[in-house]
Chain A
Amino acid sequence: MQGQIPKPLIDSDSQPFWEGVREGKLLLQKCGDCERYIFYPRIICPHCFSEHMTWEETSGKGKIHSYTVIHKAPPAFKGEVPYVVGVIDLDEGVRMLSRIIGDRNDLSIDQPVSVVYEKIDDDLTLPYFKVTGA
């Protein structure tokens, strides 16, 4: 037993996001006033302080902004090394941290990726990303 994967906090900010992931949808908040997408979800827009936050289903497409291959992992992830964590620039203009799956020798910054849904256990599904064909 190497410890539990840290579970995300499900609260009134985050619940729609994590429920969406479980249903195979990548939902992002969009501000009803300044019309910018944001990530992570909040009760107020960090750009214009509007409280009119709406939820939209997104394409789940983006490109790799940066990444790292992890060789020394936190305890809960030790059995998985080496694996790739990256930051993804989504087409909607927000950045998300995630796992990038697939052949790590073929990875490079700016490669296009799209979301896949990884069921970790009965309670937890995470949005991962994989490189899409050119």
Chain B
Amino acid sequence: MIKYVWKGVKGMKSERIAAIVGAAESELGHLPGRNVLQLQAQAAKRALDDAGFTKDDVDALFTTASWGHFPQLMLGEYLGITPKYTGGTNIGGSSFESHVAHALVGIQAGLFDVALITYGSTNRTSGNRPSAAGLTLSYEEPFGIPSPVGHYAMAAQRHMYEYGTTSEQLAEIAVATRKWAALNEKAFKREPVTIEDVLNSPMIAEPLHLLDCCLITDGGGALVVASAEAAARAKKRPVWILGHAETQTHNTVTHMPDLTVTGAKDTGRRAMEMAGITHDEIDVVQVYDSFTITVLLTLESLGFCKPGEGGDFVSGQRTAPGGEFPLNTSGGGLSYCHPGMFGIFLLIEAVRQLRGECGERQVKDAKISLVNGTGGTLSSTSTVILGRD
């Protein structure tokens, strides 16, 4: 395999092994009558069109789901794809950052050239939620903890106790994210909200209010990852995968090593080291916003600020359009869409930003993006660094 050496941006040393060359959503929002396979087929077709590829170019298939057994088999058959390689890591909402990383690893190993990664859910219309207590969840579910919001609420409470973080500071994140959604015609919620609106919205699990929580929508997404050779045939310029890292720290909240620190402390550092970049070289950041507290903990864990400084970091609408730190520019899981697992949509937005396709919400001259998925109850993180030539 030909090895390319990155020459795009100062300091960046990683090789050009694989790139994202296609990215698209299916229909999003409230979609009665749609099923999860239709949504993934829509997204897959659109992502392949975006790449200028066809179904026959695909030789690896990655998906994961909470809707049934063997989602890869059902989806592959539905799409008429017989892959040489099948992936399906399920670590919650961060799964798709891992799928991108694993696609790169497979390409690096010479196993395949073009991977299709898909996700779809009808969480809004079908309320697809597991319910039976099982195995080690037996030590949580009988006590009435609503999952995952209760777990995130306890992390927020602990952060407030240790550092004096306030509900107003958490609300800053929801308000700024909604401002980005107002610039995205695909976003589910676009009307402006204020800090007072967030604080006055119904309490769900203290200290988290309704507007501290992500949406529940229907929708799907897809990505096409190609080897450097295959990427050269793509319609649009490649978005290179420069660094990646994943980890899992726990499943039940009692096993989380520190309620205020996520695995991003580890995966962010490793992914940035692999990419050979530093914080100040990153132009636009997409981090999983299942809840406002998820964003705050992730920014601290990634090292954009020190532990305990997250509240100040997001204050004064610093992450809003026009602010110093463009964050979750699609409108995020809080305002754009959130069909159960949001990780694939973080990547779709990062690709669009790096291609300069974001219109009103475009971050000027965005060359490098950090994407961080968080899954489970702050249980897994997967970080991907993307960049363009």
Residues of B within 8 A of A (CB): 131-136, 138-147, 149-150, 153-155, 157-158, 161, 202-208, 252-255, 259
Q: Are B254 and A39 in contact (CB under 8 A)?
A: yes
Question: Does chain B have a CB within 8 A of A67?
Answer: yes
Min CB distance B377 to A, Å, is 11
Of the candidate stretches A29-37, A50-58, A69-77, the one touching chain B is: A69-77
Partner of B131, one of A6, A67, A68: A6
A121 to chain B, nearest CB (A): 11
Residues of A within 8 A of B134 (CB): 9
Q: How far is the CA of A33 from the CA of B200 in the complex (A)?
A: 53
Q: Is the CB of A67 within 8 A of B133?
A: no
**A73: chain B residues within 8 A (beta carbon):** 144, 146
> Which one of A6, A68, A96 lies within 8 Å of B154 (CB-CB)?
A68
Q: Which residues on B sit within 8 Å (CB–CB) of A124?
A: 142
10 A-B Cβ contacts within 8 A?
A6-B138, A8-B133, A8-B142, A66-B259, A68-B154, A83-B144, A85-B145, A95-B254, A97-B139, A99-B144
Residue of B whose beta carbon sits closest to that of A81:
B144
B26 to chain A, nearest CB (A): 29
Q: Which residues of A contact B135 (CB under 8 A)?
A: 9
Query: Is the beta-carbon distance between B133 and A9 smaller than 8 angstroms?
Result: yes
A87 to chain B minimum Cβ distance, whole angstroms, is 6
Nearest chain A CB to B138's CB is how many angstroms away? 4
Query: Which 9 pairs across A and B sit closest by C-beta, in order of nearness?
Result: A6-B133, A8-B138, A68-B153, A77-B144, A95-B254, A66-B158, A6-B141, A69-B206, A66-B154
Can you name the residue of chain B whose Cβ is closest to the Cβ of A76?
B144
User: In the bound complex, what is the Cα–Cα distance between A68 and B204 (angstroms)?
Assistant: 10
Q: How far is it, in angstroms, between the C-alpha of A9 and the C-alpha of B153 when the chains are bound?
A: 26
> Do B154 and A67 have beta carbons less than 8 Å apart?
yes
Task: Collect the chain A residues with CB atoms within 8 Å of residue B255's CB.
Answer: 95
In the assembled complex, the Cα of A126 lies from the Cα of B161 at a distance in Å of 28
Give the Cβ gap from A38 to chain B, nearest Cβ, in Å. Answer: 10
Q: Which residue of B lies closest to A99 (CB)?
A: B143
Assess the A65–B144 pair: CB atoms within 8 A: no
Report whether B158 and A97 are in contact in the complex, using a CB–CB cutoff of 8 Å: no
A99 to B140, CA, bound (A): 10
Inter-chain contact A68/B157, CB cutoff 8 Å: yes
Residues of chain B with a CB closer than 8 A to A97's CB: 139-140, 143, 145, 252-254
A109: contacting residue among B136, B142, B161, B206, CB under 8 A: B161
In the complex, what's the smallest C-beta–C-beta distance from B341 to chain A, in angstroms?
20
B138 adjacent to A80 (CB under 8 Å):
no
Residue of B nearest to A89 (CB): B254
* Contact, CB under 8 Å: B139 / A65: no
Q: A65-B259, A77-B144, A86-B154 are in contact. Are A72 and B139 (CB under 8 A)?
A: no
In the complex, besides A69-B206, A126-B143, 20 extra interface pairs with C-beta distance below 8 angstroms are: A7-B142, A8-B138, A8-B142, A9-B133, A9-B138, A40-B252, A66-B157, A67-B154, A69-B203, A69-B205, A70-B144, A70-B150, A71-B202, A72-B149, A72-B204, A74-B147, A83-B144, A85-B144, A87-B253, A99-B143
Docked CA distance A73–B135 (Å):
21
B147: A residues at CB distance < 8 A: 74
Q: How far is the CB of A62 from chain B (nearest CB, A)?
A: 12
Q: Which chain A residues border B259 with CB–CB below 8 Å?
A: 65-66, 87
- Contact in complex: A126, B142 (CB < 8 Å): yes
> A6: which B residues are within 8 A, CB to CB?
131-133, 138, 141-142
B167 to chain A, nearest CB (A): 13
A48 interfacial contact with B, CB 8 Å: no
Contact of B144 among A7, A80, A94 (CB under 8 A): A80
CB-based nearest A residue for B210: A72
Complex: A94 Cα to B259 Cα, angstroms? 14
Query: Quick one: given A71-B202, A126-B143, are A7 and B157 in contact (CB under 8 Å)?
Result: no
Whether B150 pairs with A68 at a CB distance below 8 angstroms is yes
**Assuming the A-B contacts A68-B153, A70-B150, A109-B161, are A85 and B143 also in contact, with contact meaning beta carbons closer than 8 angstroms in the complex?**
yes
Inter-subunit contact A7/B153 (CB<8 Å): no
Which residue among B145, B147, B158, B259 has the maximum number of chain A CB atoms within 10 Å of its CB? B145
Instruction: List, in ascending order, chain A residues with CB within 8 A of B136's CB.
Output: 40
- Chain B residue with Cβ nearest A88: B254
Flag if B143 contacts A72 (CB, 8 Å): no
